[in-house]
Chain A
Amino acid sequence: MEEQPQKQAADQPADSGGEGGAGGPSQVAGDQAARSEDRMTLLLRLRAQTKQQLLEYKSMLDASEEKTPEQIMQEKQIEVKIEDLEKEIEEAKIAFEIKQLAIDRIRLSTALKKNLEKISTESSVLMDNMKHLLKLNKLVMKLQQESWDLEEKLLDTRKKRLQLKQASESKLLEIQSEKNKQKIDLNCMENSESIKIIRQNLQMEIKITTVIQHVFQNLILGSKVNWAEDSALKEIVLQLEKNVDMM
């Protein structure tokens, strides 16, 4: 209750103009009904307000009756406690909402039952609505079934595609391994010793043949025979044009 002179607390109240609910129009004739209605709404609103405020005060009273723990707890513990309490509040709220829903549903169904007992079953908006609902539900179920089937088909095709891919992958691997084997074999073959010996022999033979051919050629040329006339001689001489290595 101390006055603290250093703190300059300026306090200005500001009002809003009049109440919004009860502002009636200025014409007198025919407004009595409107104004009494406005008054009724105002009264009902005020009643709701006072009810709510009373509820708040009551709940504060109930809350203050509970003993709050006076021991000094650490900040972390307080926060954890606060969270727990908040969770409790949320759970209570949710439970309340669910119960409210259930009660509303029960009420609705009893009202519906009573209504159905009174009216005839052929011509009523309710029956039309219900029939429409049933039709829509059937349609929904059918469409859901269709979409489920389509999804199944899609899944099947995807599975098949996957299998094909896997098969092709394995085949390609096989091809690759075969090619590698072939390459290795070729290399082995080329590098093997027997091939080298054979090659050397081949080279030797080629040289011998070339020498023999040269000898024949020189023989024919040296004997000054006209080799162009005889076909066999021509053949021997001209054969040297062909390089034996290329055969």
Chain B
Amino acid sequence: MSVLRPLDKLPRLNTATILLVGTEDALLQQLADSMLKEDCASELKVHLAKSLPLPSSVNRPRIDLIVFVVNLHSKYSLQNTEESLHHVDASFFLGKVCFLATGAGRESHCSIHRHTMVKLAHTYQSPLLYCDLEVEGFRATMAQRLVRMLQMCAGHVPGVSALNLLSLLRSSEGPSLEDM
């Protein structure tokens, strides 16, 4: 399958699957480990991918949340993300996609401007999170957040759906008018 669709498979009982897409393997692995260490009532499955489309040979469960990890230090990761975004179905962007920008701590190394990410997140109407994945403490906090988001997107939290969460997370800061 070349395009990821959110609801084409039935959900497994008590299982939530998250897909982390990014070019930095080490960071993704560390984030995945932190997430799996989190205390969660449902079973977590973390899939890592460098880019989309995913090979169709693997039998994988329904993906509940896609996180695009963009490293602000490398333009290549942004390019990779933009190309991967084409392979995601439009109905995924109703709350099941999230952008994670890492490396904002070291301003001097950043080659991608923060505005670019804000514009990207605004175009795709998805939440944008900032986290320095190299720092242990921030990573653990972000892992907690992602686990909670994943639970909501997978439907494990009664009363809150992915779309609901999206409208709650909507930030009032959009790209400024000069940039649009």
User: Chain A residues in contact with chain B, CB under 8 A?
Assistant: 1-4, 7-16, 18-21, 42, 45-46, 48-53, 55-57, 59-60, 82, 86, 89-90, 93
Q: Which residue in A1, A12, A19, A59 is a CB contact (below 8 Å) of B42?
A: A19
A52 CA / B162 CA spacing, docked (Å): 11
Task: Write 9 A-B pairs (CB below 8 A) sorted by A numbering.
Answer: A1-B1, A2-B2, A11-B48, A14-B36, A20-B39, A20-B40, A21-B41, A55-B161, A56-B155
Q: Contact: A16 with B161, CB < 8 Å?
A: no
**Interface residue? B165 (CB, 8 A):** no
A127 CA / B55 CA spacing, docked (Å): 68
A171 to chain B, nearest CB (A): 54
Q: Contact: B155 with A10, CB < 8 Å?
A: no
B7 to chain A, nearest CB (A): 6
What bracket does the count of chain B residues touching chain A fall in?
Answer: 35 or more
Which parts of B147-180 form the interface with A (CB within 8 Å)?
154-159, 161-164, 167, 170
User: Chain B residues in contact with chain A, CB under 8 A?
Assistant: 1-2, 7, 11, 13-14, 25, 32, 36, 39-56, 58, 60, 91, 125, 154-159, 161-164, 167, 170
Contacts of A8 in B (CB 8 A): 50-51
Q: Contact: B158 with A15, CB < 8 Å?
A: no
Q: Contact: A4 with B53, CB < 8 Å?
A: yes
Q: Which residue in B11, B41, B159, B164 is a CB contact (below 8 Å) of A45?
A: B41
A166 CA / B44 CA spacing, docked (Å): 75
Q: Contact: A11 with B167, CB < 8 Å?
A: no
Contacts of A49 in B (CB 8 A): 13-14, 42, 154-156, 158
Q: Contact: B41 with A19, CB < 8 Å?
A: yes
Q: Contact: B161 with A52, CB < 8 Å?
A: yes
A183 to chain B, nearest CB (A): 61
Contacts A9-B53, A52-B156 hold; do A90 and B11 have CB atoms under 8 A apart?
no
Contacts of A90 in B (CB 8 A): 167
Contacts of A16 in B (CB 8 A): 36, 40, 43-45
A56 CA / B159 CA spacing, docked (Å): 11
Q: Which residue in A18, A20, A46, A60 is a CB contact (below 8 Å) of B7?
A: A60
Contacts of B43 in A (CB 8 A): 15-16, 18-19
B33 to chain A, nearest CB (A): 8
Q: Contact: B47 with A13, CB < 8 Å?
A: yes
Q: Contact: A7 with B53, CB < 8 Å?
A: yes
Contacts A13-B60, A60-B91, A90-B167 hold; do A82 and B49 have CB atoms under 8 A apart?
no
Q: Contact: B158 with A12, CB < 8 Å?
A: no
Contacts A11-B49, A86-B170 hold; do A1 and B56 have CB atoms under 8 A apart?
yes
Q: Contact: B55 with A15, CB < 8 Å?
A: no
Contacts of A15 in B (CB 8 A): 36, 43-45
